[in-house]
Structure 1
Amino acid sequence: MFDKHKIINKVLTNGHTVISSSTINEFREARLMTKFDHRSQLPKLFSDNNLSILPISRGEYVIGSFETFSSFNKDEIDISHIEFPSFLESLDYRNITSEATAINCAFVSKILHDFTEEDNLLPTVSGRMSSLSFDFGINSSKGLFKINVENSQVEIDGGYEGDNSLSLIEAKNYISDDFLIRQLYYPYKLWSNKIQKQVRPIFLTYTNGVFHLREYAFDDINHYNSLILVKHKKYVVQDGTFNIEILQEILERTKTVKEPEIPFPQANSFERVINLCELLNQKEFLTKEEITQNYDFADRQTDYYSNAGKYLGLLDIARDPITRQIGCQLTRQGKYIFNTNLIDRQKEFVKLIVSHSAFKKTLQLYLENGEIPNQNQIVEIMKGSKLYKIGAEKTYFRRASTITGWVNWIMNQLEE
């Protein structure tokens, strides 16, 4: 398509180009071809040439060197424990398989009420709707570029109105490094022009029992990139106890296993290991291509995190019997863990991690000294743990960051 319509030449000459859905449909369905929720999903032609694409009407898109994404903050924050209504049978917070269910759970458990500080909060708008007409400026390689939108499609996962504000929620049930600002900006722009109350864009991510809410604001209503983080907060449903005494008991009772003959993990975020397993628990089988295309994983990350799951015995690398494509599926042990309640699930993850010598000894040293061991100390522990095929010194140091990440994850699960 880029070759046929000389897209790059047009962008270099004019700073942008407009393309229709019907033109894209000649090659593949436009709705699928233009869905890039994260930087990692951009095709090579886009990323190599610093390009992005935005809808400007029901049937047209603009391509240019625009800054369309924003990175999530990575600040560590305390988790607030909340209670879930015990009388509900049709909604199970332990089995959230969609963004809609995550939002419903956040509403009925009063997470949204607490976060927005609105006591009278009611669901009002959601689903697909027309953007109507508006224009805005967006940062580009050639300065501020003006875009006019005319009846583009807007989708809102959940809209909740209180006495003082309308909260518009974009939800995801997987972890990502960044997000497409348009998913917040277009609904914000639409409803800011329609009502008098404050409009509050909120991004909700749900994984492994944790609801993470981030509220944003636009410093300039007419500037796409004027996004600022107002506040963020994490919530989890109280589901039992996990404290330092229980962790010590797990360390004492968990036997050390022989290191598997597979590469030592290179996957610093244990939350992402869990999230991949959650996705497999919902879908049963995902090809590596599906994981890379549909979630915020680069090709290399898909391999790293699937191999980490295999290292712990949570998932198997398998081949689809029909398409013959290579993918992942949960092991029997993985399926068992996801059938337990959330606190027991965390304990099972900890048992799997500390059954490996390098992680166990690092955690024990952490508990003895009250702080995470430094990289040199961890590398010395690794060298004495008979790890599979780690030869080069620099490889030890790269893999040590995985141990740091996973041990910190364990400590963050403990109640104060």
Structure 2
Amino acid sequence: MGNPSKDIPWLAIFDAYGIHNHDFEEEPFFISAKEIKAACQDFKKTAEKEVRILCYQAQRKDKPQVFVDKGLFLLPVKNGEYAIVKGEGYIDIPDIISEPVLFKPKIKFRLFSNEIGDSEMQHLDYAHAAGMIEDFCEVGDLFLTIRGRKYTPPFSFNVGGTTIHQQSVQTEVDAGYEGENHLVLIEGKNTGVNEVIIRQLYYPYRKWSEEISKSHGKKVIPVFFEKRGIEYMFWMYEFKNENDYNSIKLIKSSRYIVT
């Protein structure tokens, strides 16, 4: 099943640049935001011509039908430039079936401000203040040092049987916590999801591996987080091969309920 608001514009893009006949087994197809905009300039609705909306593919359901039919997904390789890649771009987030951890916060008094609103970051801030993140990661003390958007350094990686050279892409980390020997990077959601595009974990992982691991020897740990009802849910991942986009593996998961 495709995404109706994107189906026709992306067909127009594929028609305009002969992408239907491209051999994706040989290499990705590279396309710029300028080219996407030009191919969609005659559409009337914003959702049918806005590059940011057309290129948003955080989950499989966001992909247009032509991507679904051909087994493709989209990756940014430079600001304003994309690679259309054949392969599996997403990872399923499994249900956590283990019993929840009944967790007593290390906070000495009740916090009220964290109960106002419903953003990923405020839930992460509370989980860190309560000691949940340190308990889950088991790597000692962790201190909040990273938050928000930053650009990646250049790096290359393998995906879909081909090599992509990524030059500089803006990535976002909901929260990054540094310990003595580790750097924990968390991608958070506050709505129920059962999948995520690997890029949201991989690009920050590669950025900080280049910046921190290689110069200071600290291991980078990608973590996916979701606040679901009263439960704080964590999934820890690792990339078996840092140069392989699809080498992501689940290490452990746990869900916490504050007592």
Question: What's the TM-score bracket when you normalise by the shorter of the two chains?
Answer: 0.7 to 0.9
Cα distance between partner residues in 2 of 1:110 and 1:25: 47
Alignment partner of 2:221 out of 184, 187, 200: 200
Name the CA distance, whole Å, in 2 between partners of 1:25 and 1:101: 36
Verify: 1:4 aligned to 2:20, yes or no.
Answer: no
Aligned to 1:319: none
Task: Output the CA distance in 1 between the equivalents of 2:185 and 2:87.
Answer: 24
Q: Give the structure, 1 or 2, with the largest relative contact order (CA under 8 Å, sep 6 or more).
A: 2
Q: Which structure dedicates a bigger proportion of its chain to helix?
A: 1
Q: Is the 8 A contact 2:28 2:162 kept in 1?
A: no
Whether 1:76 and 2:97 are equivalent positions in the alignment is yes
- State whether residues 225 and 232 of structure 2, in contact with CA within 8 Å, keep that contact through their aligned partners in structure 1: yes
Q: Which residue pairs with 2:203 in the alignment?
A: 186
Q: What is the percentage of aligned positions where both structures have the same residue?
A: 32
Deviation at 1:87, TM superposition (A): 4.0
Match of 1:237 in 2: 258
> Runs in 1 of length 4+ with deviation above 4 angstroms?
11-14
Task: Label 1:4 to 1:13 Cα distance change in 2 as closer, same or farther (>3 A).
Answer: farther
Q: Quote the residue 1:269 is aligned against.
A: none
Could you say which residue in structure 2 is the equivalent of 1:164? Answer: 181
- Aligned equivalent of 1:99: 120
2:113 maps to 1:90: yes
Considering only aligned residues, what root-mean-square deviation do their CA atoms show, in Å?
1.7
* Corresponding residue of 1:151: 168
Aligned to 2:4: none
Letter in 2 for 1:6: G
Pairwise mapping of residues 365-380 of structure 1 onto structure 2 (< 5 A)? none
How many residues align? The count is 232
Helix, strand or coil at the partner of 2:78: coil
- Contact 1:96-1:102 at 8 Å conserved across structures: no
Deviations 1:68-109 (A, max 9, x none): 1111223511101223543423221xx551111121121111
Deviation digits for residues 250-299 of structure 1, max 9, x if unmatched? Answer: xxxxxxxxxxxxxxxxxxxxxxxxxxxxxxxxxxxxxxxxxxxxxxxxxx
Query: C-alpha deviations, 1:178-225, integer Å up to 9, x for none?
Result: 111111111111111111201000000111111110110111111111
Partner of 1:338: none
Q: Distance in 2 between matches of 1:13 and 1:156?
A: 32
CA distance in 2, matches of 1:166, 1:12: 36
Amino acid at match of 1:16: P
1:232 maps to a residue whose letter is S
- CA separation in 2, counterparts of 1:204 and 1:231? 12
Q: Which has the larger radius of gyration?
A: 1
Structure 1 window deviating more from structure 2 (37-46 vs 207-216): it is: 37-46
Question: How many angstroms apart in 2 are the aligned matches of 1:125 and 1:179?
Answer: 21
| TM-score, with structure 1 as normaliser | 0.53
Partner-residue secondary structure (3-state), 1:151: coil
